[in-house]
A and B are shown apart, each in its own frame.
Chain A
Amino acid sequence: MQAVQRFFRQSLLSYRALFGWLDPKVYILVMVLSPLSQLLFFSVLVNYVYSGEGLVGYIGANALILCVLNSVFGIMSIITSDRYMGTFQHVMASPVNKAGLFLSRSIAHVLNGLFTSIIGFIFGMMIFQISIAPDAILLLVGVWMVSIFSACGLGLIIGCFCLWTPSMNLIGNILASSLLLLSGANYPQSIMPVWLVHFADFIPLTRGVELTKQILNEGNYSNVFALLGEEFVLGVCFFIISFLFIKYAEYLSRVRGTMDLD
């Protein structure tokens, strides 16, 4: 019980300590308004080009992708921000279990991403005056939760890269653009060249976006378990890889002395 409590306390405190967007004005601007404006742009565009066909699915997919991007940036801050503040070395030298720690730090960002995506989706539905089947809602939340978890896993890996390079913003933006491009949030995946589709299979959110479209547009729930399972496994793999990276960084710092964790 102690451990569970500690897990969530750490999650909350790190979120506040490292993310710093808790200032309501900034939070709304960065976490809500900015993705909403992107959502609006893509929704209007897609609505125009496809003459409204499959709109609700595209809005859902965009809400998922665009609102999650901030979570991905947020999760990168778990490492980069800690290092920037000079606390990373203290954290690494403490006896706490590192995998548990980084997982607990990630949880807040997963929930945050879920929250903003839902807001984004509601906003999109209101603007375009559409509604969805009530039985889809719970399923959608589940799908999104897993997809965001998986995206956060990749975000954590990218955060580790930032221990090697100072250009966190650059890498973060490349990641964000790639997710937007590869997930197929704004077009059927079939349009993409085959090799890109194969590549997209290893990217988080691809399956989440596909499921979102299937659920919202076709009312097709049949692939949920298969695809969601894959997405979850993908997320777990990302987290494991990121832990290995953290371990490797620690090794470089301790033994080789080629990396400064401060």
Chain B
Amino acid sequence: MSTINNNIINVSQVKRTYKTEVGIIKKKKKEVDALKGLSFSVNKGEIFGLLGPNGAGKTTMIKILTTMLTPSSGEVSVLGLNPVTDAKKLRPHINFILGGERNLYWRLSAYDNLAYFSDLYKIPRSEQHGRIQDLLELVGLQDVAHQRVETFSKGMKQRLQIARGLVNNPEILFLDEPSIGLDPVSARKLREIIRQLNDNGTTILLTTHYMFEADELCDRIAFIDKGELIEVDSPQNIKQKTNNVSVVEFSVIGIEATKIQEFTHHPDIHHVQFEQQEFLTKVKLHTTDPQGAVPIIYENMKGAIIQDLSITKPSLEDVYVQLIGGKVS
């Protein structure tokens, strides 16, 4: 199995502080600790997910790994190189993609965008043409290759970004929220492309806010919050860790949220989420004793209509919510 030598990315005790000045006249120095001693490593050939709430430090970590930012302290190595001092050597072997519609030249065609970035990565002209064709095919844009990017839909732009990130055939590809704002079909297509790349040997490090996506794609996942590592393991193992917990979900009509809160203070019920919809309230709770929890629910809500009650195993999202502790109400 994986040995130390297999680690293609090594992050150890990385800290990063941002110093900002607030106020115009009376300048006050403010420090934000975006990363507070993060350590993890990524194996060669793996899809590694970096998950965490907004402001957790995911983008900061990606910027450090892609030579765009230097850490305040700690050790980083990517492909055996230090992104701080060996940036020049490292850059040809990696690439990165930031989700969203920007980061492309809208006034150029898809083909020209790729040609331009190929030049920036010093891909010899003789190889460029064939490579660009392959990439366009990979992301399904061969038919619109000579159309200006400004005419593309968001999904097409995002796919072109993927192709852009591949012009230098990187050994590691970094993706920061690649599926943001995509419709379900486009998002699935994107996942297929990522998997295909991975099959061909590219190591991938991605961030995402979609748990099912991480669950489906990633070999291993790191949960980070406020710049600290919470958990790192495969999605299966992470879910296993909360194996004795079940998720009870139901919708209820004709009862106030406060009332539900009262009885859910029961010791066996760990975590409660509400979602108030037009007529009904959706409730989700985590419990170690579903058999005990269900009767409590019915007892305490006499007169209310309970629908769609189900007991399931926790999804990655449930684990995430539990670990990060953000109560979504």
Contacts and interface: CB of A to CB of B under 8 A. Distances in A.
A116 to B, nearest CB: 20
B36 interface: no
A91 interface: yes
A257 B92 CA distance: 23
A2 B68 contact: no
Nearest to A9: B119
Nearest to B16: A257
Nearest to B67: A93
Contacts of B106: 85
A256 B115 CA distance: 32
Interface string B72-100: 00000000000000001001100010101
B102 A85 contact: yes
A96 B121 contact: yes
A6 B121 CA distance: 11
A91 B120 contact: yes
A262 interface: yes
Given A87-B103, A90-B103, A257-B19, A95 B108 contact: no
A255 interface: yes
B19 A86 contact: no
A18 interface: yes
Given A2-B124, A85-B102, A86-B98, A96 B119 contact: yes
B188 interface: no
Contacts of A20: 107
Interface in A221-262: 253-258, 261-262
Interface in A16-42: 16-18, 20, 22
Given A20-B107, A257-B18, A96 B120 contact: yes
B215 interface: no
B146 interface: no
A80 interface: no
A17 B113 CA distance: 9
A125 interface: no
Nearest to B20: A258
B69 A13 contact: no
A90 B166 CA distance: 13
B129 interface: no
Given A2-B125, A9-B119, A10-B119, A254 B103 contact: no
Contacts of A17: 105, 107-108, 112-113, 116
B20 A87 contact: no
Contacts of A254: 67-70
B220 to A, nearest CB: 25
A92 B112 CA distance: 19
B270 interface: no
A108 to B, nearest CB: 13
Contact of A262 (B20, B92, B98): B98
Interface in A76-117: 85-87, 89-96, 101
B103 A93 contact: no
Contacts of A190: none
A5 interface: yes
Contacts of A16: 107-108, 112
Contact of A89 (B68, B91, B124): B68
Contacts of B88: 95
A87 B120 CA distance: 12
A254 B96 CA distance: 16
A253 B69 contact: yes
Given A16-B108, A96-B120, 20 more contacts: A6-B125, A10-B119, A10-B120, A13-B119, A85-B104, A87-B103, A87-B104, A87-B105, A90-B96, A90-B103, A90-B117, A90-B120, A93-B67, A93-B96, A95-B88, A95-B122, A96-B121, A96-B122, A254-B70, A258-B19
7 contacts: A5-B125, A87-B103, A93-B91, A95-B91, A256-B19, A257-B19, A258-B19
4 A-B pairs with the lowest CB-CB distances in the bound complex, closest first: A86-B102, A17-B105, A94-B120, A95-B91
Interface of B: 16, 18-20, 66-70, 88, 91-92, 96, 98, 100, 102-108, 112-113, 115-117, 119-122, 124-125, 164
